[in-house]
Amino acid sequence: MSQLVKLLGALAFSLCASVASAQDAVLKPFVLGSKGAGDLAQKVEATKAALTKAGFTVAGSYSPYANTTIVVVTNDELKSTAAKSEHGGFGAAQRISIVKVKDEVQVAYTNPAYWANIYRMAGELKDTAAKLQAALGKVEEFGAKGITAAQLRKYHYKMMMPYFDDPDPLVMHASHEEAVKQVEAGLAAGKQGVTRVYRVDIPGKKEVLFGVAMKGATEKDKFIDDKFIMSEIDFKDVKSAAHLPYEILVVDRRVFALSARFRIAASFPDLSMMGENSFMRIMESPDAIKKALAYTAGDKD
C-alpha cells in the first residue's frame, strides 16, 4: 500500500510540475521560419504560394523599404477567434516578413500564441501556429527574452504606459458604414502618408481591420515613417520586420488604433528606454502616428 501511495504521490507531483512548467513557459513575438541564400523576389513568391497551399488567404503585401517585403494573411480560425473578444479584430491577421540581410534571406512570422495572448483573444490560435510552421518552418522564436502567457494578457511596457485595453480613439462617425467609407477614402487619398496594405472583415460583427503603410514625405514627418522607425529599433541580426504594418480597427461607428506606446513595445518588449537604438530615438512617433491615423480616418479637428 505504501508503494502505491508513493507512486500516486509521484504522479501527482509530476502532473503539478508539468502544469506549472506550461504556465511558466515564455513566448516571444516572432518565429524565424528559415534563413539562407536565395533571391528575395523568388522567396516572396514561394512564401505566398506555401501560405496559400496551407489554407491561408493573402490579405495584402508591401515593401516598406529596400530588401524587405511584408505579407499579411488570415484564415477562418483567425477571424472566428477575433470575433469572440473585445477588439479581438486586432489579431485577425498574421504578418510574415521576407528580408534580405547581406547574402541571406530571412523568412519570419508573428508568433500566433504570443499575439493572441497580448491581444487577449479567446484562444491561442494553435491550428494557425501549426499551419504557419508547416508552411514556413521553425528555426527559433525570437524578439525578446520571453514573456509568459499570463504576463502577456496584462502587458504594458512600464508604469503609466498603456495596456491593450487602452487603445487610441481616433474618430466616431454617424454609422459603421460611414466609418468604413471614411477610412477607405482616407487611405486611398494618402494625404497623411498613410495608405492601405490590407483589409480583413470580422465575421458576425461590425468590425473591420485595416493594415496601413506609413511614409513621411518630409523630414518633419519622419516620426510616422515605417523606414525611419525600423532603422532605429530593428537593429539586431535577425530582423523583426513582421512588426509591420500598423493597424486601424473600425468597431461599429468608432475607429481605433492601438497606442504606438503599446504596439511598438509589444513587438520590442526588451528595447531600452534610453540610449542608441531605444524608444527615446522615436519618442515623437506615438503622437505623430495617432494624429496621422486620426486624420486618415476622417477626424476634422
CB 149 within 8 A of CB 117: yes
Amino acid at 248: I
**Topology of 26-296 in CATH?**
TATA-Binding Protein (3.30.310)
pLDDT tops 60 at residue 28? yes
Phi, psi of 277 (to 5 degrees): 50, 55
Q: Work out the pLDDT band at 12, boundaries 50, 70, 90.
A: very low
CA-only gyration radius of the chain, Å: 20
pLDDT tops 50 at residue 6? no
Helices 285-296 and 176-189 pack at an angle, to 10 degrees, of 110
* C-alpha to C-alpha distance for 22 and 18, rounded to whole angstroms: 6
Domain extents in the chain: 26-296
* C-alpha to C-alpha distance for 101 and 98, rounded to whole angstroms: 10
Q: Work out the pLDDT band at 45, boundaries 50, 70, 90.
A: very high
CA distances from 155 to 14, 99, 136, 183, 193 (A): 30, 28, 28, 29, 30
* C-alpha to C-alpha distance for 84 and 287, rounded to whole angstroms: 30
Q: Which tens digit of pLDDT belongs to each residue from 113-127?
A: 999 999 999 999 999
| Percent of the chain residues past pLDDT 70, beyond the cut | 92
Average pLDDT over residues 85-110: 98
